[in-house]
Amino acid sequence: MSGATLLKETGPREVFCGLTSIVWLHRRMPDAFFLVVGSRTCAHLIQSAAGVMIFAEPRFGTAILEERDLAGLADAHDELERVVQNLLKRRPEIRTLFLVGSCPSEVIKLDLSRVAEKLNIALQGSVRVVNYSGSGIETTFTQGEDGALKALVPLMPESQEEQLLLVGTLANAVEDRLITLFNRLGINNVKSFPPRNSIDLPAIGSKTKVLLTQPYLTDTARELNARGAEIIEAPFPLGVEGSSLWMEAAANAFNVKDILLDEILEPLILRAKAAIKPYREKLSGKKIFLLPESQLEIPLTRFLRNECGMIPIEVGTPYLNKEIMKAELDLLPSDIRIVEGQHVENQLDRVREQKPDLVVCGMGLANPLEAEGISTKWSIELVFSPIHGIDQAADLAELFARPLYRHDLLNNKQLSYA
């Protein structure tokens, strides 16, 4: 077990709520619709975080609670059914409807599971209705995906076939590449969850081995485990080290011979390390401070420290699940300062004191820090970019090197005109 310094902090936080994960989930499953049951704030949050205007009709929306919905819950349930029926009439292509709970719906105790149940009976299987909570009083940012996936687990059919199940949303191209690599290792039955179509849910059973692609799927992992699946313990597939250990863990679980594993991975590792080298030169020795948001902070720190030579000053994380993070923490030395939770003002004081070269933070904080001369990287970019796997390691390093290059470029006072 690592001796990393684990601290806790409470106070005002500056993080997105779980609703935000709809922004990538709806792209992953184009036949699904995410209906937030909430307030105008929820609607405004999602449209501010996602480029909603580019869609003729987006595959997510908000059933906005109004004064009269707060007055009587029974009516609110009926109202929601009415809204859903209207929506489905207009959008016949929807196969799965997610009813997404929000802060206000949780506080007034709107029973979305009951509404989902009633709708499922009424719709007779033409559309599947599930529910989960993306509320900010219970979830942070990426945890919304955990809730959505957990809600789908009971719908997964049973199978006793041996298979590798990759769990967590990946960019399609990255997913294809990773599956190709597993195939080369002789692991041929590889499925993904969430699937690219919400109705093509993978089957699951005691011979299913789960490899998590993302570090924020605690509840989903627990549910999959309860359905008999084995969760393979591994670090997360970020960077060369994480990705190769991740693949190795799967290889071991499927009894792939070491010699084959080496044969497949070695050239990829060599190539990736060479590709990282120029970025490592830029990043090495630079101080980095990660504010809590995406839950990717610990794996990213491991990559940036171990492979890019950066010096982590502080690693914020919205919450810390030591079980899921164990393999990651084992790869970090004891002097890393990990802070769970947040007091945003105190944390920003520490940022200013420590003068890091790069801060990973949310969009609300980035420009004010830039204006103070501190380079930043938005954490939301990390959940949208294809960064997983050995072949993406250099791209991941480049994401962090770019603000530093840019800083140099714009602050270079000695422009030469050769």
Partner 1 sequence: MELTLWTYEGPPHVGAMRIASSMEEVHYVLHAPQGDTYADLLFTMIERRKKRPPVTYTTFQARDLGGDTAELVKRNIREAFDRFQPKALLVGESCTAELIQDQPGSLATTMGLDVPIINLELPAYSKKENWGASETFYQLVRGLLINQSKENIQHDPSSWQKEGRKPRVNLLGPSLLGFRCRDDIIEIKKILNEYEIEINLIAPLDATPSDLLKIPKADLNICLYPEIAETTCSWIERNFGIPFTKTVPIGIGATKDFLDEVHHLLEKENKNQIKINSRLPWYSQSVDSNYLTGKRVFIFGDGTHAIAAARIAKEELGFEVVGIGTFSREMARKVRSVAKELGLEALITNDYLEVEKAIKESSPELVLGTQMERHSAKRLGIPCAVISTPIHVQDVPARYSPQMGWEGANVIFDTWVHPLMMGLEEHLIGMFRHDFEFTDGHQSHLGHLSRNEEKNSENTDNHLQTSSQENQELLIWTQEGKAELAKIPYFVREKVRKNTEKYARQAGCRQIDSETLYDAKVHYKDK
Q: Could you say whether residue 82 binds partner 1 (CB under 8 A)?
A: yes
Interface residue with partner 1, options 43, 201, 217, 397 (CB under 8 A)? 43
Map residue 40 onto helix, strand or coil. Answer: helix
**Least spacing, CB of residue 371 vs partner 1, in Å:** 3
Classify the phi-psi angles of 125: left when phi > 0, otherwise alpha if psi is within -120 to 50, otherwise beta.
left
Q: Could you say whether residue 382 binds partner 1 (CB under 8 A)?
A: no
Q: Could you say whether residue 100 binds partner 1 (CB under 8 A)?
A: no
**Least spacing, CB of residue 256 vs partner 1, in Å:** 43
Sequence letter at residue 207: K
Contact 105, 135 (CB under 8 A): yes
Q: Could you say whether residue 330 binds partner 1 (CB under 8 A)?
A: no
Residue 317 CB-density burial (10 A; 0-12 exposed, 13-18 middle, 19+ buried): buried
Q: How many residues bind partner 1 (CB under 8 A)?
A: 64
Nearer to partner 1 by C-beta: 57 or 335?
57
Q: Could you say whether residue 52 binds partner 1 (CB under 8 A)?
A: yes
Cα separation, 356 vs 397, in Å, equals 17
Contact 389, 272 (CB under 8 A): no
- Which residues between 2 and 41 bind partner 1 (CB under 8 A)? 11-20, 35, 38-41
Q: Could you say whether residue 367 binds partner 1 (CB under 8 A)?
A: yes
Cα separation, 155 vs 193, in Å, equals 12
Q: Could you tell me which stretch among 52-60, 215-223, 239-247, 303-311 binds partner 1 (CB under 8 A)?
A: 52-60
Q: Could you say whether residue 54 binds partner 1 (CB under 8 A)?
A: yes
Nearer to partner 1 by C-beta: 111 or 395?
111
Map residue 283 onto helix, strand or coil. Answer: helix
Q: How far is CA 216 from CA 5, 143, 149, 156, in A?
A: 21, 6, 11, 20
Nearer to partner 1 by C-beta: 41 or 113?
41
**Paired strand residues for 377:** 360
Q: Could you say whether residue 56 binds partner 1 (CB under 8 A)?
A: yes
Q: Could you say whether residue 80 binds partner 1 (CB under 8 A)?
A: yes
- Compose the 189-228 pattern: x for residues touching partner 1 by CB under 8 A, - for all others: ----------------------------------------
Place of tokens 């080496």: 262
Nearer to partner 1 by C-beta: 80 or 336?
80
Cα separation, 406 vs 278, in Å, equals 15
Nearer to partner 1 by C-beta: 106 or 307?
106
User: What DSSP string runs through 231-268?
Assistant: EPP---SBHHHHHHHHHHHHHHHTT--HHHHHHHHHHH
Q: Could you tell me which stretch among 47-55, 246-254, 264-272, 388-396 binds partner 1 (CB under 8 A)?
A: 47-55
Nearer to partner 1 by C-beta: 224 or 365?
365
Nearer to partner 1 by C-beta: 329 or 360?
360
Cα separation, 14 vs 381, in Å, equals 17
Quick one: how far is CA 303 from the chain centroid?
Answer: 17
Q: In the structure encoding, which two tokens stand for residue 309, read together? A: 């030579």
Verify cis geometry, omega within 30 degrees of 0, for the bond prior to 194: yes
Residue numbers at the binding site for partner 1 (CB under 8 A): 11-20, 35, 38-45, 47-49, 52-54, 56-58, 60-67, 69-70, 76, 79-80, 82-83, 86-87, 103-104, 106-108, 135-138, 140, 345, 362-368, 371
